[in-house]
Structure 1
Amino acid sequence: MEHMPSDCGLFEVREPEAQRIPFVYNSPHSGRAYPVDFVEQSRLDPSSLRRSEDHFVDELFSSAVELGAPLLLAHFPRAFIDVNREPYELDPRMFDGSLPPYANIGSVRVAGGLGTIPRIVAENMEIYSRRLSVEEGLARVEAIYKPYHACLRRLIARTHVQFGFGVLIDCHSMPGNIRVAGSNIRPDFIIGDRYGTSASADLSRTAMHILEDLGFTAVRNKPYAGGFITEHYGRPARGLHALQIEVNRSLYVDETSLLKRPQFPAIAAAIASFMRQMAEYVDLYASHGALAAE
């Protein structure tokens, strides 16, 4: 766990010298700089607080920049604020005072403790030792959530203008014990396209095939079909495609110690190959206008 000094950037964009491919990569849950006040507010020890991180996902996908795509990554932790939610999915039980009328207090994610300001980390562990003020919650949305999404929108819009279309890859990790419902399949990767609504079916199938050819078990949309970011930014009819990719953490990190496994470089190299092949596919088919609109 790192502590976030007051002058630390909340997120950053790592850019190539020139964008060469119509991709934007985003890692919203790999932040590991924890505000001191937040740690003091929590009833959890630092190791437990980190259970909701997408551990080292920003590093796994770092070669996107060498390929010619920008990579947006969070420094703030998901447990502090989750930008893969609507801006105001807030649980009234967490706050002293009344939330504004536009807050979405009834979503499934809020009910599960995983709203914009999460109530729990993994294994249903309560984060806070006391209620927060409404002002504190709304301040996080203004200071972090809104600037993050403004930055992501700019990257996507710039890509769309430059290439005539764009592909957002939203990068995540999942616990090693995840299974596909009704089976014993333990996926290495899950590709989420909001059940075919956030990206071209050909693009989703290609992502699956590339991962399988690399020797991994890949599934689509089960149990993760993509969150707010995938749903919100994927507009295939306008030539804007969004895929969520989940990497099984047990492939590259010890989920008890949260340290990298010796296999980490090999998984990162495989992901680099995946990104390169996705770029080659898009370059081939974009020349025919296949991804410009659905």
Structure 2
Amino acid sequence: MTELGRQERQADGDGRNVFFEVIRPETQTLPLVFNSPHSGRVYTREFLAASRLDAQQIRRSEDLYVDELFSAAPAFGAPLQRAFFPRAFLDVNREPFELDPRMFSGPLPAHINAVSPRVIGGLGTIPKIVAENMPIYDAPLDVAEGLSRIEWIYRPYHQSLKALLQETRRNFGRAVLIDCHSMPGTVSVGGHRRRPDFIIGDRYGTSASAAIAYAAISILEGMGFSTAYNKPYAGGFITEHYGRPAADCHALQIEISRRLYADEASLQKKPEFVAVKQAVNLFIGEFAAFLMAEGEAPGLAAE
């Protein structure tokens, strides 16, 4: 039985989803949905056996502990969806079929996108590499195994996220998605090396209102953090796909520098992790207060 088949049977057998979970508040009181698609860290034996990387190397593509940093979101009244599967296994922040034909042992469907910059860079829906250009696999993947990851994990993940946003929009008249990620301690911006603490991305103003994006930046800077806006991370497929400001559905990507809370070599938490989590909690509270105040303004009240 394949790794996916084993997990699928486990999910059917004990009634729980082994691929991701939605942590809901007792009552949703905010027009907010939080999503952590890259913090999954369940590496099965079969997946590790199929990889040329060891258990430490393959974690280089993780958004380290981001689900934990945002774990208080339900206590504030907003649901949090988080992946259990690792990004190296499947990347749900891509189109469903951004696939590299060279990775597979047989022909792929005609509708794949094999020419996107992300596929060319080795970072498609089923990644070819982890960070630092480290190949994941020694041998081609079976086509059926690859497509089953999309069918049984990718599609349900997005169906769930879409349902959360639709429910939020229905109940509050608007929905704001915060897509939660982490980034290296040093990033390249315009050819220069920079060390921002946070980056807020809204697909260059297309996935969220300017007021919402600027509020997030203002809150973080008011807390003493350095920020960047859309550079070098403007948001991926999730931000682009779900952000529809004209319909009052907004999506922001937030990137947190891993150097603030983790050792980037050992991938272990630093003592500062607790303080950073407290700061994230403060951000959630202040951002929620902004949204509620904005929602009460004339012309912005919930339908």
**d(CA) in 2 for partners of 1:16 and 1:94?**
41
Question: Structure 1: where are the runs of 5+ without partners?
Answer: none
Secondary structure of the residue aligned to 1:34 is coil
Secondary structure of the residue aligned to 2:252 is strand
Secondary structure of the residue aligned to 1:46 is coil
Shift of 1:289: 5.4
Is residue 2:253 matched to residue 1:244?
Answer: yes
Shift of 1:272: 0.7
Which of the numbers 108, 111, 114 marks the counterpart of 2:117?
108
- Runs of at least 4 residues off by over 3 Å: 3-6, 182-185, 289-293
Distance 1:195 1:279, change over 3 A: same
Q: Once superposed, what is the RMSD of the aligned Cα atoms?
A: 1.6
Is residue 2:180 matched to residue 1:204?
Answer: no
- Give me the identity figure in percent: 58
Secondary structure of the residue aligned to 1:110 is helix
Is residue 2:252 matched to residue 1:261?
Answer: no
Which of the numbers 37, 42, 64 marks the counterpart of 1:55?
64
Shift of 1:199: 0.1
**d(CA) in 1 for partners of 2:207 and 2:93?**
15
**Is 1:166–1:240's contact at 8 Å kept on the other side of the alignment?**
yes
Shift of 1:80: 0.1
Question: Structure 2: where are the runs of 5+ without partners?
Answer: 12-17
**d(CA) in 1 for partners of 2:119 and 2:193?**
29
**d(CA) in 2 for partners of 1:235 and 1:255?**
35
**d(CA) in 2 for partners of 1:102 and 1:261?**
44
Structure 1 partner of 2:101: 92
Structure 2 length as normaliser, TM-score? 0.93
Structure 1 length as normaliser, TM-score? 0.96
Is residue 2:238 matched to residue 1:221?
Answer: no
Secondary structure of the residue aligned to 1:105 is coil
Shift of 1:98: 1.0
Distance 1:289 1:141, change over 3 A: farther
**d(CA) in 2 for partners of 1:109 and 1:183?**
22
Structure 2 partner of 1:192: 201
**d(CA) in 2 for partners of 1:53 and 1:152?**
20
Is residue 2:77 matched to residue 1:77?
Answer: no
Which of the numbers 154, 171, 177 marks the counterpart of 1:145?
154
Distance 1:139 1:284, change over 3 A: same
Secondary structure of the residue aligned to 1:274 is helix
